[in-house]
Amino acid sequence: MAIRLPGVKNILRKSCFHVPKGYLAVYVGESEKKRFIVPVSILNQPSFQDLLCKAEEEYGFQHPMGGLTIPCKEDIFIDMASQLTIS
């Protein structure tokens, strides 16, 4: 079941494991990680690229959740990602 986050366009937080075509699962959080499904279209955005660089610095290619993990507060990620998907 998918839950739309209030005020966030094209970002889903899902409890199931299915990732729709054109989307990517990422884990976000500092201590407790939450799974988000984001459109791949935000991958080339400079602010998302900065998050990817921070993830590489912190985890290298060994992400603790087995998927792409972004070391960022959840609310900051939601704000940033929603700004990228609105445009």
Domain ranges of the chain: 9-86
**For residue range 23-75, what is the model confidence (pLDDT) as tens digits?**
888 888 888 888 888 888 888 899 889 888 888 887 777 666 667 888 888 88
DSSP letter, residue 21: T
User: pTM of this prediction?
Assistant: 0.71
What are the distances in angstroms from CA 3 to CA 12, 23, 40?
Answer: 6, 15, 19
**For residue range 3-37, what is the model confidence (pLDDT) as tens digits?**
444 444 445 555 457 788 888 888 888 888 888 88
What is the C-alpha to C-alpha distance for residues 63 and 75, in angstroms, rounded to an integer?
21
What are the distances in angstroms from CA 43 to CA 1, 15, 28, 84?
Answer: 25, 22, 15, 10
